Amino acid sequence: MKSIAVPGASPEDIDLLIRPEWIIPIEPAGVTLSGHSLALSNGSILALLPNDEATQRFNPQETLDLPGQVLLPGLINLHTHAAMSLLRGYADDMALMRWLSERIWPAEAHHVTPDFVRAGSLLACAEMLRGGITTFNDMYFFPEAAASAARRMGMRAALGIIAIEFPTRYAADADDYLAKGLAIRDASSGDPLLSFCLAPHAPYTVADKTFEKVATLAAQLEIPIHMHVHETRHEIEESLALHGVRPIERLRRLGLLGPQLIAVHAVHLEAGEIELLAHEGCHMAHCPTSNMKLGSGIPPMSAIQARGLNFGLGTDGAASNNRLDLFHEMRHAALLAKGASQNAEALGAHATLHAATLGGARALGLDGKIGSLLPGKAADLCAVRLDEWLLQPCFDPASHLVYVAGREQVTHTWVAGKLVMSHGAPLQINISELLDLTSLWHTRLAS
C-alpha cells in the first residue's frame, strides 16, 4: 500500500488527512495497518499511505489525528425496516407469525403513514450513524418518506420497491406497490446517496405472477432483489403444502435465483440449497440477533462461509432486535457460527468485518463504490476508540472490534467525505427534535 512521492513536487491540496492509530482497509483481506494516513478529497478516498509519505505529498485543509483509534469503512446494514424503530419493544417475546399477525400488521394498518415512516427513519438513521453504519438496505412502506429522512441525515440508503399481495394505506395490490416504488426510483435518479432494490416481502406473501414480474424488472433495471427467505420452519412447511416444493426451489423455478438476489435470514438451508445459492451467485443477509429473538433458528454459517456464498450483516427492524447495532450483529454472528459448528475457527474477526462492510456492499452491487478503503471509492468511514481502560489490553484491533468494542466507542462517522456523526451525536438533527418525534408516536401507539 505504498505511494511514491515525486521529489521536489509541490504538495497536493486535499480536503482532509486522517491519521489514526490503525487502519483496517478490508481490501486487501486480513490487513491491519499502523502508522498510515487516509487522504480524502471531494468526498472520495485519494490515497492510503504511510504517515511520512502523506506529510510530503499532501497539503490538507484539515488534519485529524486519532490516537488510540481504528479507522475502517463505514458499516453496511444489509437488512432493516428503518421506520419500525417507532415499534421498538412494541411486540416482544413472540414467535414470528404471532408477532406479525397479532401485533405488527394491525399496528401498521392503523398507524403507518408518510409521517410515521419519516419520523421512524430519522430515528433509525441517527441510531445507525451513531454506531458507524453509513449505508442501510431498507424494506418498508412509503419509501419516499424514508428517502427524505436519509437525505436529511446525509446517509446512504438502498430503498426497497416493496411488493406484497395485500392492501395497505400505501398501495392497493402488488402492481400498485411496484408502480409507486418505480416512480420514486425515477424521481430520485440524480441522488448519489440513494439506490434501489426490488423488495418482494417473502414467498408466503407474494404470488407467482408478482415474482415473475419482479424477475423481469430486476433483469431490465439491473437492480437487486431483497427478500425474506427460509426464515422459519413454518414458512417451509407452508410452501411444501401449497406449492409442493421448498421456497428456494420455487424461486429457482420462477427465475429469481442469481447475482441479483439478497436472501434475507436464510436460516433453514439444506446443503444442496447452500450449493445452489452459491452456484447462482446469490447473496445472503445474515440477521443473527433477530433470528435469535424471534426463535427462528441459527443458519449454518460455517458451511455458508466454506462454500463461498457472499453474505452481509443486517439488524432487521428495531421491532424484532431491538437495536440497529452492527457491533452486536458482528459479535453474535461470529459466536453463533463457532458454537453451531463446534469450530472455534469459523467466521473469524476479519471475515466478520468483511461481512459488515464489503460483503454488504457486494450484495447491493455497490462494491465498486463503498465497502473498503481503496483509492477512488467514496469516503464512507467510521472511527472507533480502542484506548478506553475497559477495553485494555488490545493485541489485535480487528479482534477487538468484533469481540470487545461496541457502538459506544464509535467517535466519528463520515458519508462521502462529510462528517455526519461526531463524539456521540448526529450532526444533521437536534436530539431534542428526535425525542419530541418519538414521544408523539409513543403516545399514539400506546393509546
What mean pLDDT comes out for the span 27-55? Answer: 98
Same domain? 128 vs 24: no
pLDDT digits (tens, 9 = 90+) for 120-161: 999 999 999 999 999 999 999 999 999 999 999 999 999 999
What's this model's pTM, rounded to 2 decimal places? 0.96
pLDDT band at 99 (very low <50, low <70, confident <90, very high): confident
- CA–CA separation, 392 and 402 (whole Å): 14
- CA–CA separation, 376 and 120 (whole Å): 33
Instruction: Note whether residue 312 is domain-resident.
Output: yes
DSSP 3-state percent helix, strand, coil across the chain (nearest 5): 40, 25, 35
Q: Which three cell numbers stand for residue 363?
A: 450484495
Same domain? 33 vs 132: no
Instruction: Note whether residue 432 is domain-resident.
Output: no
Same domain? 344 vs 318: yes
Same domain? 100 vs 196: yes
Question: What percentage of the chain exceeds 90 in pLDDT?
Answer: 94
* CA 415 to chain centroid: 14
Same domain? 131 vs 52: no
One-letter identity of residue 20: P
Same domain? 270 vs 220: yes
Instruction: Note whether residue 434 is domain-resident.
Output: no
Same domain? 99 vs 52: no
Residues in the chain: 447
What mean pLDDT comes out for the span 392-399? Answer: 98
Same domain? 159 vs 223: yes
pLDDT for residue 214 is more than 70 = yes
Same domain? 258 vs 405: no
DSSP 251-300: HHHTT--STTEEEEE--S--HHHHHHHHHTT-EEEE-HHHHHHTT-----
| 342 torsion bin: left (phi>0), alpha (psi -120 to 50), beta (else) | left
The structural domain count of the chain equals 2
- Residue 9: predicted pLDDT: 72
Q: Which residue range forms the structural domain that includes residue 185?
A: 75-363
One-letter identity of residue 10: S
CATH number of the domain to which 47 belongs: 2.30.40.10
Contacts of 138 (CB under 8 A, 6+ apart): 80, 81, 82, 121, 146, 157, 158, 159, 160
- Residue 3: predicted pLDDT: 45
Instruction: Note whether residue 299 is domain-resident.
Output: yes
What mean pLDDT comes out for the span 286-293? Answer: 97
Instruction: Note whether residue 430 is domain-resident.
Output: no
Instruction: Note whether residue 162 is domain-resident.
Output: yes
pLDDT band at 97 (very low <50, low <70, confident <90, very high): confident
Instruction: Note whether residue 123 is domain-resident.
Output: yes
pLDDT for residue 57 is more than 50 = yes
pLDDT band at 7 (very low <50, low <70, confident <90, very high): low
Q: What is the mean pLDDT of the chain?
A: 96
Same domain? 82 vs 223: yes
Same domain? 390 vs 352: no
| Pair 48, 2: CB distance under 8 Å | no
- Residue 4: predicted pLDDT: 46
pLDDT digits (tens, 9 = 90+) for 169-202: 999 999 999 999 999 999 999 999 999 999 999 9
DSSP 343-405: -TTSS-HHHHHHIIIIIHHHHTT-TTTSSS--TTSB--EEEEE--SGGG---S-HHHHHHHT-
Give CA separation, 186 vs 102, 193, 198, 218, in Å. Answer: 36, 14, 13, 15
Same domain? 391 vs 307: no
Instruction: Note whether residue 424 is domain-resident.
Output: no
Neighbours of 415 (CB within 10 A): 26
CATH number of the domain to which 108 belongs: 3.20.20.140
